[in-house]
Amino acid sequence: MLDRLLDISANFGVDTLLLLPVLIALEAVLSADNAIALAAIAQGLDSEAMQRRALNYGLLIAFVLRVGLILTAGWVLQFWQFEVMGAAYLLWLVFKHFTAASDDDAEHHGPRFATVLQAIPVIAFTDLAFSLDSVTTALALSKDMVVILLGGTIGIITLRFMAGLFIRWLEEFEHLEDAGFVTVAFVGIRLLVRVIDSTLVPPEWVMVAVIAAVFAWGFSKRTEVTEVEATGETAHLANGKVPTVAELEAQNSPAVEVSTDQKDPTAAMPLQQD
Protein backbone atom coordinates (compact mmCIF):
# COMPACT_ATOMS: atom_id res chain seq x y z
CA MET A 1 0.00 0.00 0.00
CA LEU A 2 2.81 2.43 0.90
CA ASP A 3 4.50 1.81 -2.44
CA ARG A 4 1.30 2.76 -4.24
CA LEU A 5 1.11 6.05 -2.34
CA LEU A 6 4.76 6.90 -3.04
CA ASP A 7 4.29 6.25 -6.77
CA ILE A 8 1.42 8.74 -7.12
CA SER A 9 3.53 11.83 -7.81
CA ALA A 10 5.81 9.97 -10.21
CA ASN A 11 2.91 8.66 -12.28
CA PHE A 12 1.04 11.94 -12.63
CA GLY A 13 1.26 13.34 -16.14
CA VAL A 14 -0.55 14.25 -19.35
CA ASP A 15 -1.88 10.71 -19.81
CA THR A 16 -3.51 10.99 -16.39
CA LEU A 17 -5.29 14.21 -17.33
CA LEU A 18 -6.54 12.68 -20.59
CA LEU A 19 -7.80 9.48 -18.99
CA LEU A 20 -9.40 11.11 -15.95
CA PRO A 21 -12.49 12.56 -17.76
CA VAL A 22 -13.19 9.13 -19.29
CA LEU A 23 -13.07 7.46 -15.89
CA ILE A 24 -15.22 10.18 -14.28
CA ALA A 25 -17.87 9.84 -17.01
CA LEU A 26 -17.86 6.07 -16.62
CA GLU A 27 -18.14 6.42 -12.82
CA ALA A 28 -21.13 8.76 -13.23
CA VAL A 29 -22.98 6.41 -15.59
CA LEU A 30 -22.27 3.28 -13.58
CA SER A 31 -23.20 5.08 -10.33
CA ALA A 32 -26.83 5.52 -11.41
CA ASP A 33 -27.89 2.14 -10.05
CA ASN A 34 -25.82 2.76 -6.92
CA ALA A 35 -27.50 6.13 -6.39
CA ILE A 36 -31.02 4.77 -6.69
CA ALA A 37 -30.24 1.96 -4.23
CA LEU A 38 -28.89 4.48 -1.72
CA ALA A 39 -31.90 6.76 -2.29
CA ALA A 40 -34.26 3.86 -1.61
CA ILE A 41 -32.37 3.06 1.60
CA ALA A 42 -32.45 6.70 2.74
CA GLN A 43 -36.21 6.78 2.17
CA GLY A 44 -36.49 4.43 5.14
CA LEU A 45 -36.05 7.49 7.36
CA ASP A 46 -39.05 9.65 8.19
CA SER A 47 -37.87 13.20 7.42
CA GLU A 48 -35.87 14.79 4.61
CA ALA A 49 -33.39 16.21 7.13
CA MET A 50 -32.66 12.72 8.46
CA GLN A 51 -32.30 11.40 4.90
CA ARG A 52 -29.75 14.11 4.05
CA ARG A 53 -27.71 13.45 7.19
CA ALA A 54 -27.71 9.70 6.54
CA LEU A 55 -26.48 10.20 2.97
CA ASN A 56 -23.81 12.72 4.01
CA TYR A 57 -22.33 10.64 6.81
CA GLY A 58 -22.90 7.31 5.08
CA LEU A 59 -21.08 8.41 1.93
CA LEU A 60 -18.29 9.97 3.99
CA ILE A 61 -17.63 6.55 5.52
CA ALA A 62 -18.12 4.99 2.07
CA PHE A 63 -15.40 7.28 0.69
CA VAL A 64 -12.93 6.07 3.33
CA LEU A 65 -13.85 2.45 2.57
CA ARG A 66 -13.54 3.05 -1.18
CA VAL A 67 -10.07 4.59 -0.84
CA GLY A 68 -9.02 1.65 1.31
CA LEU A 69 -10.36 -0.74 -1.33
CA ILE A 70 -8.48 1.06 -4.11
CA LEU A 71 -5.19 1.00 -2.22
CA THR A 72 -5.57 -2.68 -1.32
CA ALA A 73 -7.23 -3.75 -4.58
CA GLY A 74 -4.25 -5.82 -5.65
CA TRP A 75 -4.67 -7.93 -2.51
CA VAL A 76 -8.48 -7.88 -2.18
CA LEU A 77 -9.18 -8.95 -5.76
CA GLN A 78 -7.03 -12.04 -5.31
CA PHE A 79 -9.80 -13.46 -3.12
CA TRP A 80 -12.93 -14.25 -5.11
CA GLN A 81 -14.88 -14.59 -1.86
CA PHE A 82 -15.08 -10.79 -1.54
CA GLU A 83 -16.76 -10.46 -4.93
CA VAL A 84 -19.15 -13.31 -4.12
CA MET A 85 -20.14 -11.60 -0.85
CA GLY A 86 -20.66 -8.30 -2.67
CA ALA A 87 -22.76 -9.97 -5.36
CA ALA A 88 -24.82 -11.85 -2.78
CA TYR A 89 -25.50 -8.63 -0.86
CA LEU A 90 -26.64 -6.76 -3.99
CA LEU A 91 -28.87 -9.62 -5.12
CA TRP A 92 -30.33 -9.80 -1.61
CA LEU A 93 -31.26 -6.10 -1.87
CA VAL A 94 -32.98 -6.82 -5.19
CA PHE A 95 -34.84 -9.79 -3.72
CA LYS A 96 -36.03 -7.74 -0.73
CA HIS A 97 -37.24 -4.97 -3.03
CA PHE A 98 -39.28 -7.09 -5.42
CA THR A 99 -40.78 -9.32 -2.74
CA ALA A 100 -41.92 -6.25 -0.81
CA ALA A 101 -43.33 -4.77 -4.04
CA SER A 102 -45.97 -7.50 -4.12
CA ASP A 103 -47.65 -5.87 -1.11
CA ASP A 104 -50.03 -3.24 -2.44
CA ASP A 105 -50.14 -1.45 0.90
CA ALA A 106 -46.37 -0.98 1.12
CA GLU A 107 -45.38 2.60 0.36
CA HIS A 108 -41.68 1.94 0.91
CA HIS A 109 -40.04 -1.25 -0.31
CA GLY A 110 -36.80 -0.97 1.63
CA PRO A 111 -35.96 -1.26 5.32
CA ARG A 112 -37.28 1.21 7.87
CA PHE A 113 -34.93 3.03 10.25
CA ALA A 114 -35.80 4.73 13.52
CA THR A 115 -32.57 6.76 13.67
CA VAL A 116 -29.91 8.09 11.30
CA LEU A 117 -27.27 5.92 12.98
CA GLN A 118 -29.11 2.80 11.85
CA ALA A 119 -29.12 3.88 8.18
CA ILE A 120 -25.50 5.10 7.95
CA PRO A 121 -23.75 1.67 7.99
CA VAL A 122 -26.27 0.24 5.50
CA ILE A 123 -25.53 3.09 3.07
CA ALA A 124 -21.76 2.77 3.56
CA PHE A 125 -21.58 -0.99 3.00
CA THR A 126 -24.00 -0.86 0.06
CA ASP A 127 -21.63 1.54 -1.68
CA LEU A 128 -18.71 -0.73 -0.79
CA ALA A 129 -20.44 -3.65 -2.53
CA PHE A 130 -20.88 -1.52 -5.67
CA SER A 131 -17.26 -0.40 -5.40
CA LEU A 132 -16.05 -3.96 -5.94
CA ASP A 133 -17.39 -3.65 -9.49
CA SER A 134 -16.40 -0.03 -10.15
CA VAL A 135 -12.84 -0.40 -8.82
CA THR A 136 -12.31 -3.51 -10.95
CA THR A 137 -13.54 -1.52 -13.95
CA ALA A 138 -11.20 1.36 -13.11
CA LEU A 139 -8.21 -0.97 -12.76
CA ALA A 140 -9.01 -2.42 -16.18
CA LEU A 141 -8.75 1.07 -17.68
CA SER A 142 -5.67 2.23 -15.82
CA LYS A 143 -3.15 1.06 -13.23
CA ASP A 144 -2.45 4.68 -12.25
CA MET A 145 -3.47 5.25 -8.63
CA VAL A 146 -3.90 8.98 -9.25
CA VAL A 147 -6.54 8.37 -11.90
CA ILE A 148 -8.38 5.79 -9.83
CA LEU A 149 -8.30 7.82 -6.59
CA LEU A 150 -9.44 11.04 -8.29
CA GLY A 151 -12.12 9.17 -10.20
CA GLY A 152 -13.35 7.54 -7.00
CA THR A 153 -13.40 10.86 -5.15
CA ILE A 154 -15.38 12.64 -7.84
CA GLY A 155 -17.59 9.56 -8.15
CA ILE A 156 -18.55 9.81 -4.46
CA ILE A 157 -19.40 13.51 -4.84
CA THR A 158 -21.47 12.79 -7.94
CA LEU A 159 -23.16 9.91 -6.15
CA ARG A 160 -24.26 12.18 -3.29
CA PHE A 161 -25.99 14.65 -5.61
CA MET A 162 -27.51 11.87 -7.74
CA ALA A 163 -28.93 10.14 -4.65
CA GLY A 164 -30.53 13.41 -3.55
CA LEU A 165 -32.15 13.80 -6.96
CA PHE A 166 -33.35 10.21 -7.04
CA ILE A 167 -35.11 10.61 -3.67
CA ARG A 168 -37.38 13.19 -5.34
CA TRP A 169 -37.63 11.34 -8.67
CA LEU A 170 -38.71 8.11 -6.99
CA GLU A 171 -41.95 9.86 -6.05
CA GLU A 172 -42.44 11.34 -9.53
CA PHE A 173 -41.84 8.32 -11.79
CA GLU A 174 -43.76 5.11 -11.31
CA HIS A 175 -41.22 2.60 -12.69
CA LEU A 176 -37.98 4.30 -11.62
CA GLU A 177 -37.37 2.34 -8.42
CA ASP A 178 -37.97 -0.98 -10.18
CA ALA A 179 -35.65 0.08 -13.02
CA GLY A 180 -32.92 0.96 -10.54
CA PHE A 181 -33.07 -2.41 -8.83
CA VAL A 182 -33.04 -4.22 -12.18
CA THR A 183 -29.67 -2.58 -12.88
CA VAL A 184 -28.53 -3.49 -9.35
CA ALA A 185 -29.28 -7.11 -10.26
CA PHE A 186 -27.14 -6.73 -13.39
CA VAL A 187 -24.20 -5.54 -11.27
CA GLY A 188 -24.60 -8.47 -8.87
CA ILE A 189 -24.78 -10.97 -11.72
CA ARG A 190 -21.74 -9.37 -13.35
CA LEU A 191 -19.72 -9.83 -10.16
CA LEU A 192 -20.68 -13.51 -10.08
CA VAL A 193 -19.81 -13.98 -13.76
CA ARG A 194 -16.42 -12.38 -13.15
CA VAL A 195 -15.74 -14.93 -10.41
CA ILE A 196 -16.77 -17.86 -12.63
CA ASP A 197 -14.98 -16.74 -15.79
CA SER A 198 -13.74 -13.17 -16.29
CA THR A 199 -13.69 -13.63 -20.07
CA LEU A 200 -17.49 -13.89 -20.04
CA VAL A 201 -17.93 -10.40 -18.53
CA PRO A 202 -19.45 -8.11 -21.20
CA PRO A 203 -17.56 -4.93 -22.15
CA GLU A 204 -18.36 -1.64 -20.46
CA TRP A 205 -20.26 -0.21 -23.43
CA VAL A 206 -22.75 -3.08 -23.14
CA MET A 207 -23.31 -2.29 -19.46
CA VAL A 208 -23.76 1.42 -20.23
CA ALA A 209 -26.27 0.61 -22.99
CA VAL A 210 -28.24 -1.70 -20.69
CA ILE A 211 -28.35 0.90 -17.90
CA ALA A 212 -29.48 3.59 -20.36
CA ALA A 213 -32.26 1.37 -21.77
CA VAL A 214 -33.54 0.32 -18.34
CA PHE A 215 -33.55 3.87 -17.01
CA ALA A 216 -35.33 5.09 -20.15
CA TRP A 217 -38.13 2.72 -19.14
CA GLY A 218 -37.88 3.94 -15.54
CA PHE A 219 -38.45 7.55 -16.59
CA SER A 220 -41.15 6.65 -19.13
CA LYS A 221 -44.19 7.07 -16.87
CA ARG A 222 -44.94 9.67 -14.25
CA THR A 223 -46.90 8.84 -11.14
CA GLU A 224 -50.54 9.67 -11.84
CA VAL A 225 -51.92 12.43 -9.61
CA THR A 226 -55.32 13.93 -10.45
CA GLU A 227 -55.70 17.56 -9.49
CA VAL A 228 -58.68 19.91 -9.51
CA GLU A 229 -58.36 23.66 -9.14
CA ALA A 230 -60.98 24.92 -6.68
CA THR A 231 -61.08 28.54 -5.36
CA GLY A 232 -57.34 28.95 -5.93
CA GLU A 233 -56.40 25.76 -4.03
CA THR A 234 -55.36 22.39 -5.55
CA ALA A 235 -57.40 19.46 -4.30
CA HIS A 236 -55.73 16.06 -4.64
CA LEU A 237 -58.36 13.47 -5.45
CA ALA A 238 -58.30 9.97 -4.07
CA ASN A 239 -58.86 6.96 -6.29
CA GLY A 240 -59.29 9.16 -9.37
CA LYS A 241 -62.89 10.00 -8.40
CA VAL A 242 -64.04 13.43 -9.57
CA PRO A 243 -66.40 15.20 -7.15
CA THR A 244 -69.66 16.75 -8.30
CA VAL A 245 -70.29 20.49 -8.44
CA ALA A 246 -72.53 20.23 -5.38
CA GLU A 247 -69.74 18.51 -3.42
CA LEU A 248 -67.22 21.19 -4.38
CA GLU A 249 -69.64 23.96 -3.39
CA ALA A 250 -70.29 22.23 -0.09
CA GLN A 251 -66.53 21.99 0.57
CA ASN A 252 -65.80 25.60 -0.34
CA SER A 253 -68.84 27.33 1.14
CA PRO A 254 -68.22 28.92 4.57
CA ALA A 255 -69.88 27.30 7.48
CA VAL A 256 -72.98 29.14 8.68
CA GLU A 257 -72.93 29.72 12.38
CA VAL A 258 -76.27 29.30 14.02
CA SER A 259 -76.62 31.18 17.23
CA THR A 260 -78.31 29.29 20.01
CA ASP A 261 -78.68 32.43 22.04
CA GLN A 262 -82.09 33.58 20.78
CA LYS A 263 -83.71 36.52 22.47
CA ASP A 264 -87.36 37.29 22.65
CA PRO A 265 -87.99 40.35 20.47
CA THR A 266 -90.66 41.52 22.90
CA ALA A 267 -88.07 41.83 25.63
CA ALA A 268 -86.61 44.91 23.99
CA MET A 269 -89.98 46.68 23.74
CA PRO A 270 -90.59 49.38 26.39
CA LEU A 271 -93.40 48.78 28.81
CA GLN A 272 -96.37 51.08 28.53
CA GLN A 273 -97.55 52.68 31.74
CA ASP A 274 -101.12 53.60 32.27
Mean pLDDT of the region 49-55: 90
pLDDT at 8: 43
Residue 264 lies in a domain: no
pLDDT at 13 over 60: no
Q: What is the mean pLDDT of residues 172-180?
A: 86
Decide if 198 is inside a domain.
yes
Tens digits of residue pLDDT in 129-153: 888 887 877 777 666 777 778 777 8
Please say whether the beta carbons of 189 and 206 come within 8 A: no
Residue type at position 99: T
22 within a domain of the structure (yes/no): yes
Band the pLDDT of 201: cuts 50, 70, 90.
Answer: confident
CB proximity list for 30: less than 8 A, separation 6 or greater: 133, 134, 137, 207, 208, 211
Q: Sorting pLDDT into bands at 50, 70 and 90, what band is 266?
A: low
Both 168 and 237 in one domain: the answer is no
Q: What is the pLDDT of residues 25-43, one digit of tens each?
A: 766 666 777 888 888 888 8
Domain-located, residue 30: yes
Same domain flag for 175 and 245: no
Q: Is residue 137 part of a domain?
A: yes
Q: What is the mean pLDDT of residues 200-213?
A: 83
Whether residues 248 and 166 fall in one domain: no
pLDDT for residue 57: 92
Domain contains 179: yes
Mean pLDDT of the chain: 74
**124-157 residues labelled b (16+ CB within 10 A) or e (exposed):** bebbbbbbbbbbbbbbeebebbbbbbbbbbbbbe
| Cβ proximity of 94 and 36 under 8 Å | no
Same-domain check for residues 138 and 245: no
Q: Are residues 194 and 232 in the same domain?
A: no
Answer with the one of 218, 234, 261 that is the final residue of a domain.
218
Do 202 and 238 belong to one domain? no
Q: Residue 74 domain-assigned? A: yes
Domain of residue 196: give its range. 2-218
pLDDT band at 88 (very low <50, low <70, confident <90, very high): very high
Q: Which amino acid is at 93?
A: L
232 shares a domain with 204: no
At residue 72, the pLDDT reads: 86
Task: Count structural domains, the chain.
Answer: 2
Whether residue 145 is found in the same domain as residue 229: no
Spatial CA neighbour of 174 closest among 218, 119, 240: 218
CA atoms within 13 A on the CB side of 37: 31
The span from the CA of 129 to the CA of 84, in Å, is 10
- Res. 256: pLDDT tops 80: no
Residue 15 — pLDDT band, cuts 50, 70, 90?
Answer: low
Domain end call among 174, 203, 218: 218
Question: Which one has a higher pLDDT value, 270 or 18?
Answer: 18
- Co-location of 158 and 244 in the same domain: no
Q: Are residues 11 and 105 in the same domain?
A: yes
> Cα(169)–Cα(159) distance, rounded to whole angstroms?
15
* pLDDT confidence of residue 164: 84
* Judgement on whether residues 91 and 187 belong to the same structural domain of the protein: yes
Residue 163 and residue 42 in contact, taking contact as beta carbons nearer than 8 Å: yes
Residue 3, pLDDT score: 46
Do 158 and 234 belong together in one domain?
A: no
Residue 17 lies in a domain: yes
